[in-house]
Amino acid sequence: MPGNPPDSSLGTSPGTSPGTSPGTSPGTSLGTSLGTLPRPATRRAAGPAPRRRGAAGSAPRRRGNGLFVLACLAPALVLFALFMIVPTVNVFRMSFYTWSGFSPDMRFVGLDNFTALLDDAQFVRAFQNTVALLVVVTVVTMGMGLFLAAIMTRQRLRGRTLYRFVLYVPSVLSVVVIAAIFSAVFDQENGLINGTLRALSLDGLRQVWLGDQDLVLWSVAIAMVWQSLGYYMVLYMSGMASIPEDVYEASALDGASPGRQFFAITLPLIWQNLRTTLTFFVMSAVNLSFVLVRAMTGGGPDGSSEVLLSYMYKQAYTNSSYGYGMAIGVVIFAFSFLVSLLVSRATRREPLQF
């Protein structure tokens, strides 16, 4: 209104912004005019970000954890090196020498031990027996193990817990005990098989099971299957038990038979389990065949049940041909590694999930 003085706080002059007076800076006038208001929090000057709590000791702590883990693993690593790596390297080294195993005389012969294997008929026969046992025992054990596991898991059998126990018992017995059991079963005079045939008046079917060159290897194969079957059956049962029942119910509604369910559902879903056990069985069957042959037949009659490991044992520790025996050991190592690699490659497939 006329006569009232102009508001000084809104007075402006050319070249000044509203709320400022001539001769003062905008920051000064703004601080004066708003001095009664609470000041907002000011931002700190830029600088290094503060360290988190404990960040300074994280690197020493990680180093200390690594040392602790190494200290825990050191005994196992030392034992593994002493009893696995060093003997394996020594086998390869000694395969290039001729040595009796007892005398101080060692002569380097290079690859002569390996070339001699090609002309050794006993070695070729032992190699053939090993391959035959691996093929037959692996196919029968894996096939029967899958079949029995499917029955025990999918069928409601009365007393199936007892069946599981009976089938699994051989897996916990010593291999030497199993060899003694089957030596008694296959005994020519008082064995279980020949005694049963005699009682049934079937004397014409009695055989010298461990003395016939055509039957002895298959007798050893029966003992190997009986020892391994229950263990792998339990492994497959654990894999099958993890498959949801809804999958089988849905397939049954679509008209799938139990056989179709096994090949279309069960087998693909436990394939990784089957693949792992197959590789493991091939590796362990080589050692198992040696123990059973050594305890049951000694490689006889006339080398008809000889396998690679038993032949290596005879050459290295009986015939005093240690270098030649170590050459056979190198062949066994390469053969086992190659078979495991082939099995792993042949069974590789995309894993299925439910």
Q: What is the pLDDT of residues 101-140, one digit of tens each?
A: 777 888 899 899 999 998 899 999 999 999 999 999 999 9
Count of alpha carbons within 13 angstroms of residue 114, beta-carbon side: 13
What pLDDT, on a 0 to 100 scale, did the predictor assign at position 317?
87
- pLDDT single digits (tens) 290-332: 999 999 998 888 889 999 999 999 998 888 889 999 999 999 9
Q: Can you spell out the DSSP letters for 96-125?
A: TEE--SSSS--EE-TTHHHHHHHT-HHHHH
Mind listing the pLDDT tens digit for each residue in 264-281?
A: 889 988 998 888 898 888
Count other C-beta atoms under 10 Å from residue 242's C-beta. Answer: 10
Q: Among 3-12, 149-158, 266-275, which stretch is predicted with the lowest mean pLDDT?
A: 3-12
Strand, coil or helix: 87: helix
* Token pair 């931002």: residue: 43
Q: Tell me the C-alpha distance between 33 and 148, whole Å.
A: 93
pLDDT digits (tens, 9 = 90+) for 32-78: 433 444 454 445 545 555 555 544 556 677 777 888 888 899 999 99
In this predicted structure, what is the pLDDT of residue 218? Answer: 92
DSSP state of 201: T
pLDDT digits (tens, 9 = 90+) for 204-258: 888 999 988 999 999 999 999 999 999 999 999 988 988 888 888 898 898 888 8
The residue that leads in pLDDT, 348 or 313, is 313
What does the pLDDT read at residue 142? Answer: 92
Supply the pLDDT for residue 57.
Answer: 56
Contact (Cβ atoms closer than 8 angstroms) between residue 16 and residue 24: no
- Measured N-to-C along each axis, helices 160-172 and 121-154 cross at an angle, to the nearest 10 degrees, of 150
d(CA 52, CA 56): 8
